[in-house]
Structure 1
Amino acid sequence: MYGNSRIPASTQTDIHPHLSMLLARHASTSFLKPYADYNRAAFTASLERYQRVAAGRPLILDSCCGVGESSRILARAFPDHYVIGVDQSAVRLARGQRCQQEGFGWPANLDLVRADVVDYWRLLHAAGIRLNRHYLLYPNPWPKITQLRRRWHGHPVFPALLGLGGVLECRSNWPVYLSEFCFALQQMTQHAAVFEPYLPDPPMTPFERKYLASGHRLYRTRIDLV
């Protein structure tokens, strides 16, 4: 769920036959797994920084941001917004922080947070916070047919993700993932969702740059969860 380097061979070539049933189950039950202490602490600290530095600004969330390259790009593209990039890897985030020391600069409207987005999304939702924009850039596709529950649209946190609102954008180089993602969006929100081929200029993440260089076709979907 946190980023991928390639799509391994898989027998699944269409929407998973159990996806609709799984979505119905997640829509009718509460996700009651306790919050991890470090995720709650990270959320509380990042919310305090947001309220202190940029209270009232529209909020952009860059989920599973890796080294934070996309987060920096978003912060510069939306200077009147506040951008939070979240990733569970301290190593990847430390690489992103080093960019500041190496002369890349650090936007004042950007915060990188180490947390598991499963808890972070739930905490945002429980606090009643609505996003202006939300980015899921090249999530791990978990392409084997047995791995449906590991994909974000098959995970029990999916209703909380949708509840954050805003313009939700997901990109992938595996069209089946986005086909399922759009199917799940439509079933859960009753809003039409489609994906299309997409050529980023410039690439926003290391994976996106790598895929372009290797000739992969890239796709994205975007829906306004008002």
Structure 2
Amino acid sequence: MSDMSSPNNARTDSRTVETNQQGLHERLEAIVAKHLAGPFRKPYHDATLEAFYRVKAAWQADGRPLILDSCCGVGESTVNLAERHPDGFVVGLDKSGCRIDKHDSYRREADNYLLARVDLNDFWRLAVADGWRPAYHYILYPNPWPKATHIKRRWHGAAVFPYLLMLGGQLQLRSNFPLYLQEFQQALAVAGLQAEYSPLNFDGRDMTPFERKYRLSGQPLFRLDADLNGFSLPWQAGLQLP
């Protein structure tokens, strides 16, 4: 649904992200290089392993190209993407069962999406080991973890970052925290990948509740787009499902 039909289309006063960093994190490149050098061997959680196989079965039964909506929250973005990509099968992924349980307020008629509660640190690794190749991958408004000490909690600073890249597809991130996307762009450069960083222009529909809230607060929004198709790492061939 277009935001113009929303009863909450009045200006809000959401706080901007505050950080103690003056620019890109000084350890960013070293952290990314370390993670690119070898696999992430953290044990898998049983719940995510079970969810992975449920999602896989649903996707295979559907048969349409896969689209991932990671950090989907309440799933408004997932159903928006399902409408935007009617020829694809959209999977919304989030670690919070509480947020996913609120999806009924955002549900619309669409037969090409599902939501799953997972740990993305596990799910992305399982998907890479199983050879998944989504056509598109969206990460809309990830947690910015703005403190400098939290660099390894940002996706580009996390040990699972190489798996995000190995999934491939057309990647898009959105944020009201420019530094997050600028760091992500630099992390991609360390991996030999290019990305386009640009302002996000409102096209009549907010993809997520966050996007609506920030836009109505008058905050500038940004996007990062990258083509991850063809990316691989030397140790990727040795990855196996548990």
Using the size of structure 2 for normalisation, the TM-score is 0.86
> CA RMSD for the aligned pairs?
1.3
1:75 alignment counterpart: 82
2:168 alignment counterpart: 165
Q: Distance in 1 between matches of 2:106 and 2:194?
A: 39
Using the size of structure 1 for normalisation, the TM-score is 0.91
Structure 2's unaligned 5+ residue stretches are 1-13, 230-242
Counterpart of 2:26 (choices 17, 36, 57) is 17
Counterpart of 1:192 (choices 191, 194, 203) is 194
Structure 2 counterparts to residues 20-31 of structure 1, below 5 A: 20-31=29-40
When residues 187 and 217 of structure 1 are mapped into structure 2, their CA distance, relative to the original with a 3 A threshold, is same
Amino acid in structure 2 at the alignment position of 1:144: K
8 Å contact kept, 2:75–2:106:
no
Give CA-to-partner distance per residue, 1:92-143, whole Å, 9 cap, x none.
111103544xxxx331000111111111111111100101000010101111
2:223 alignment counterpart: 220
Provide the secondary structure at the position in 2 that maps to 1:159.
helix
8 Å contact kept, 1:7–1:143:
no
1:133 alignment counterpart: 136
1:109 alignment counterpart: 112
2:99 alignment counterpart: 92
Structure 1's unaligned 5+ residue stretches are none
Matched, 1:66 2:68: no
- Deviation of 1:58 after TM superposition, in Å, equals 1.1
Provide the secondary structure at the position in 1 that maps to 2:20.
coil
Q: Distance in 1 between matches of 2:175 and 2:106?
A: 25
1:174 alignment counterpart: 177
Matched, 1:122 2:125: yes
Q: Distance in 2 between matches of 1:121 and 1:96?
A: 22
Q: Distance in 1 between matches of 2:17 and 2:181?
A: 16
When residues 7 and 74 of structure 1 are mapped into structure 2, their CA distance, relative to the original with a 3 A threshold, is same
When residues 106 and 116 of structure 1 are mapped into structure 2, their CA distance, relative to the original with a 3 A threshold, is farther
